[in-house]
Structure 1
Amino acid sequence: MIREIDAKYWDATSTYGYGGPLVDDTVTTDELDIMLKGLQDFLYEEGCVSLFMRLHPIINKERERPPAIGKIIKHGLTVASDLTKSEEEYWQETQNQHRRGIKKAMKMDVTTKVEALDEENAKIFSKIYEETMANVGATDYYFFDDNYYYNLSKNLQGRLLLITAYQEDKPIASSLYTACEESGIMQYHLGGTLDDYRKLQPAKLITHVARDWGRENNYKLLHLGGGLGASLDSLYKYKKGFSSPSEEFDFKTYRLIVNPEKYAELVAKVGLSEEDLNSDFFPLYRKKAALASEDEANRPA
């Protein structure tokens, strides 16, 4: 996504989530350096100051040495459930507290529906998700209008899975997943639970159903992501509880200062403290604006 700085200069950032670039396994690190240098030269001529990309924890290839162009930062771990195991195996690996939650939801007659995302059920999901974000005090960055979901359903047909939990025909929780047959990876995207029904723990049942669906449809991994800011917090522990021992992956970001002189000039104009200058926020010249607007677009997923 291109973001304007002034009439001449701009910078670019990847969308929130786990992106790329994806590099063929036959490409050597030396060859990758040549391509990245070509990219840097092209972006420089076009007026780009910096480039920020979130790397995919599973697909992005580990290399013997990092590329010489740009910088890769490791932020923390993400977790995934191995779907090649039997139902009995991953049930045994599920944390006791999560197993009790799943059983409680079933006992309280919570049912689930697995379907493709469309305009009709997107409205149901949106209502649940927005209430959840409001209850946790999420910033505007985490809210989406209806067009976002409609565009997802239109442009990612056959790649999206919606799992909604009901009690007495009332939708009480819902989660959205991407599913890619080519890679064998299911990915948790967004989800929420109505506050009045949290005690029924429908979200745990939804994750359990997602694992079953993935295993039955020959997927390899259900990637749940990590904690806030890729930290090993309570959210990370919650996700890890669905598969212990979990498959764990490093979440990294790639940063490229395309125009060092302009970058330094922009940072100097902002007037950051010593602490801010030593932070891993990127690009640094956007740090104050991001904090002021509580925009977390350039923070680790």
Structure 2
Amino acid sequence: MDKNTSITWLNLDDRTDCATYEKYWEESEHKRPHDHPGFLELVRPEHFQPAAVVCQHAEDARIIYPFFHCSVNSFLPFRDVRQSWRHLVSPYGYGGALFEGKVEHMQAASQAFECLLDQELKERHFVSEFVREDIFPARLARRAQGEVDQQPNVLVKLDRSPDEIWSNYKHAVRSNVNRAMKSGLRVAFDPEGEHLDSFLDIYYQTMTRRGAAGSYFFPSERFRQLAFSLGKRKATMYAHVYDQDQIVSSELLLLSHDTIYSFLGGSLASAFAKRPNNLLKHEVIQWGGRNGYKWLVLGGGLAPGDELFRFKQSFDPDHVVPFTLRRIIHDPNAYRFLEEVRREHEHRNGRCWLPVPGFFPRYLAPVENQQDEGNEELRRSGPQ
């Protein structure tokens, strides 16, 4: 390995380390909003700590990787385990190890990073790592470890003429946008978050209506803090749909140098018939094109091919791309041991252990349709 390659671990709960990391973020070419400390604080799961590693390879190649980590022992089923083990998860949204530098350094830097990170995590007793990777894989360090699962996500290509974008919508979208306009709905953009209370009311109502997990009900104070961190860097934007003087649909957008990310939002059920969400997406697309953005990331559905995914796909059927989830086991023996500890814990409480299918790591999976103190805190923590 190149002796000039180094890796630095930064504890983002430490003010000095956080300031150092934020400087790296400011120097970043992409300024991915999901990497900023303000965003990390918004989506921070219960029991988890924010951290980042920065790998410097030569003078002009750098890899930045922010994440959350937790002590497995902090959860009820594992509190009697003597060995201290940890789990790592990337933030909700799009993340992974971001590479910046000359393309010719990508391969060597990636290999050095993966080797140094694996060594660092093993020394710190990490058992598992769950990564939500960037929707643009060319921006990521190349990783060989782990099993990957890919899910379809929708992008809208913005650097086209308004007529070309409009004609590429499915017929239902064009009809619904026209219906919204005829109903008198209008869209206003709110870069300062002046109408945050209206957004929160609609967002919480939407999450309640959908039966969302508790981990999606981010505290209101964290949204306010976001305005003083990421918002001041012009990396957030709220879009609101008005029916006369009432906001009936609202969305929080995240902004990088060339990409808009559709992040959180919702609509009032009473306004569904007027199709406010269709109009909101259309106006965000138009705004993004006028302001020089290349992509709008709409994301995927709750399950591949579901109604939510089909709604998003109707805005640009030609740009469906894979979103990668990476699951890495750094200590297979510890992983198996923790699974057995969890199984025994559930058995002692009179339950057959049937973890939520596909959840990683399995030893932290909440049990479907069953509740006790341990399972409830696992639901709130939401590693995935």
TM range (shorter): 0.7 to 0.9
Report if the CA contact (8 A) 1:228-1:235 is conserved.
yes
Does the residue aligned with 1:78 lie in a helix, a strand or coil? strand
- Residue matched to 1:297: 382
- Residue matched to 1:3: 70
**Counterparts of 1:100 and 1:46, CA distance in 2:** 56
Residue type matched to 1:174 in 2?
A: S
| CA spacing shift, 1:16–1:62, aligned 2, 3 Å | closer
Q: Which residue of 288, 299, 302 maps to 1:225?
A: 299
Structure 1 residue 19 and structure 2 residue 95: aligned?
Answer: yes
- Residue matched to 1:253: 325
Cα deviation, 1:150-177, whole Å, max 9, x if unaligned, reads 1221111201111101112011110111
- Residue matched to 2:201: 127
Cα deviation, 1:168-211, whole Å, max 9, x if unaligned, reads 20111101111112xx1111001110111111111110000000
Does the residue aligned with 1:23 lie in a helix, a strand or coil? strand
My pick for the range that moved more, 162-171 or 261-270, is: 261-270
Residue type matched to 1:48 in 2?
A: F
My pick for the range that moved more, 266-275 or 126-135, is: 266-275
| CA spacing shift, 1:134–1:268, aligned 2, 3 Å | same
Greater RCO (CA < 8 Å, at least 6 residues apart): 1
Cα deviation, 1:101-152, whole Å, max 9, x if unaligned, reads 111111011111112143x411110001111111122221211221121122
Residue type matched to 1:5 in 2?
A: V
Cα deviation, 1:19-64, whole Å, max 9, x if unaligned, reads 121124334445423321211111111222212111011144589x
| CA spacing shift, 1:268–1:41, aligned 2, 3 Å | same
| CA spacing shift, 1:35–1:72, aligned 2, 3 Å | same
Report if the CA contact (8 A) 2:249-2:276 is conserved.
yes
Report if the CA contact (8 A) 1:29-1:67 is conserved.
no
Report if the CA contact (8 A) 1:161-1:177 is conserved.
yes
Q: TM-score, normalised by structure 2?
A: 0.70
My pick for the range that moved more, 17-26 or 80-89, is: 17-26
Identity of aligned residues (%): 25
Shift of 1:261: 1.8
Structure 1 residue 102 and structure 2 residue 177: aligned?
Answer: yes
**Counterparts of 1:62 and 1:248, CA distance in 2:** 19
- Residue matched to 1:238: 311
> Which residues of 2 match residues 35-114 of structure 1 at below 5 A?
35-61=113-139, 67-68=143-144, 70-114=145-189
Does the residue aligned with 2:365 lie in a helix, a strand or coil? helix
- Residue matched to 1:141: 215
- Residue matched to 2:40: none
- Residue matched to 1:202: 276
**Counterparts of 1:10 and 1:285, CA distance in 2:** 12
**Counterparts of 2:366 and 2:174, CA distance in 1:** 43
**Counterparts of 1:30 and 1:215, CA distance in 2:** 36
Residue type matched to 1:127 in 2?
A: D
Residue type matched to 1:3 in 2?
A: C
Superposition RMSD in Å = 2.5
Where structure 1 has 5 or more consecutive residues not aligned to the other structure, the ranges are: none
**Counterparts of 1:62 and 1:4, CA distance in 2:** 27
My pick for the range that moved more, 209-218 or 143-152, is: 143-152
**Counterparts of 2:321 and 2:383, CA distance in 1:** 20
Report if the CA contact (8 A) 2:253-2:260 is conserved.
yes
Residue type matched to 1:237 in 2?
A: R
**Counterparts of 1:62 and 1:164, CA distance in 2:** 33
Report if the CA contact (8 A) 2:135-2:322 is conserved.
yes
Report if the CA contact (8 A) 1:16-1:297 is conserved.
no
Where structure 2 has 5 or more consecutive residues not aligned to the other structure, the ranges are: 1-67, 74-81, 347-351, 370-374
**Counterparts of 2:209 and 2:70, CA distance in 1:** 30
Report if the CA contact (8 A) 2:354-2:368 is conserved.
no
